[in-house]
Amino acid sequence: MKIISINAGSSSLKFSLFNMDNESVIASGLFERIGIEGSNYTIKYSGEKVSEEIELNNHTDAVKVLLDKLISLEIISSLEEINGVGHRLVHGKDKYTNSVIITDEVIKDLDEFKEFAPLHNPANILGIQAFRDVLPEVPMVGVFDTAFHQTMEKETYLYSVPYKWYSEYGVRKYGFHGTSHRYITQTVKEIFGREDFKLISCHIGNGGSITAVKDMKCIDTTMGFTPLAGIMMGTRSGEIDASLIPYVMEKEGKNASEIIEDLNKNSGLVGLSEYSSDMRDILEKCDACDEKAIVAKNKYVRRIVDYIAQYYVLLGGADVIVFTAGVGENSVPIRREICEKLHCLGIKIDLDQNSKRGEIVKISSDDSKIDVYVIPTDEELMIARDTIDLINR
Ligand code: ADP
């Protein structure tokens, strides 16, 4: 069976085409600048790469070109080979606790919840509509970033603010990156051969979140009402004292939205280092003894350690800590520093194992009290698995 996983942005559309008989990627690619001058696409398949600048006025154009190319490049022989389309959807509020077959009601809800994800939900709808236009008979499944976190208890997801903000306006912790944390949870289940484990899943990329998982369920997660909360990220501040917002508004003559923009785009690593949001650049600067880069990197590590320690207590201990996403999968020194700071929990790291890359690897030493793994995340595969699962039901 062949499934397409889609991640639609406001002017972009990422896809992966899977052969689900063996979960292999047959083709993947990106359509960019949709509706903007200079629109183009790149498709990768069997070691080949095709790129072209082509007019794409909207997402439907992009999907038409995608399907034409899949056939003209002989990646598939007919559209009938596509058994389902899975869409990454961002915000399902507290209504969606699992992936779903996409119906008119789902589209209506995505639209209704758009004030919770103003950039993402409308883009997700564009992606769904485009496939409905071009492949109306093919079943589609929606996989929500927020769904995995819906098992949090009320005392966890509520903020200690006037209750009315929750009951009337929906102010609560929702959490994000759920598809990645769920993929990590399932992979740990495969490694351990059981479901009764306590896991701390650290998705640290440009965006980042940490999730505490017990018996396959999310107990707590660091992102909140929006992805701004929690650990320090490439450009996001993570947790701050909200009172600084009106104070800086007055100092800089900005409105609240502009300050939130600064907290989302100009904070975190790039804010503190005044140099870059990319951990590779920061580590280079640290090697050159740049003081701001060193403070930025130390603070970044510190915030991750803080939450791992918090979740260790919350879970009543941990069986396994997993690092994933850009920094988690690739940065040998950041993983080492985090683990060294957790030494008092009995965590010991194997430096040789920690230097390996690109595969599932156990980086803790045999005498470590907690297993530590690097597991490359695969949200696209998780989406394709859910798609096949739901259309087969
Ligand atoms: P996103 O949140 O955008 O999906 P990714 O998970 O792709 O982000 O992570 C991107 C980040 O991963 C980059 O900004 C970079 O900081 C980091 N990264 C990638 N490779 C390395 C590396 N070898 N060492 C340190 N950081 C890395």
Decide: 277 and 283 in contact? Cβ < 8 Å.
no
Round to whole Å and give the CA distance between 140 and 124: 13
Arch. (CATH architecture) of 2-144? 2-Layer Sandwich (3.30)
pLDDT of residue 282: 98
Whether ligand 1 lies within 6 angstroms of the CB of 207 is answered as yes
Arch. (CATH architecture) of 193-379? 2-Layer Sandwich (3.30)
**What distance in angstroms lies between residue 326's CA and the mean position of ligand 1's atoms?**
3
Minimal-distance CA residue to ligand 1 atom 14? 278
Quick one: which atom of ligand 1 is closest to the CA of 325?
A: 6
Round to whole Å and give the CA distance between 373 and 192: 12
Round to whole Å and give the CA distance between 338 and 343: 9
Whether ligand 1 lies within 6 angstroms of the CB of 234 is answered as yes
**What distance in angstroms lies between residue 233's CA and the mean position of ligand 1's atoms?**
10
**What distance in angstroms lies between residue 213's CA and the mean position of ligand 1's atoms?**
24
Per residue, what are the HEC states of 35-85? CCCCCEEEEEECCEEEEEECCCCCHHHHHHHHHHHHHHCCCCCCHHHEEEE
Minimal-distance CA residue to ligand 1 atom 21? 330
Quick one: which atom of ligand 1 is closest to the CA of 278?
A: 16
Sorted by where each begins, the domain ranges of the chain are 2-144, 193-379
Closest CA to 209 of 236, 189, 240: 236
Same topology, domains 2-144 and 193-379? Answer is yes
pLDDT of residue 358: 75
Quick one: which atom of ligand 1 is closest to the CA of 332?
A: 24
Q: What is the mean pLDDT of each run of 10 residues along the chain (393 residues)?
A: 96 97 98 96 97 97 97 96 97 97 98 94 96 96 98 98 98 98 98 98 97 98 97 97 98 97 97 98 98 98 98 98 98 98 97 92 98 98 98 94
Minimal-distance CA residue to ligand 1 atom 12? 326
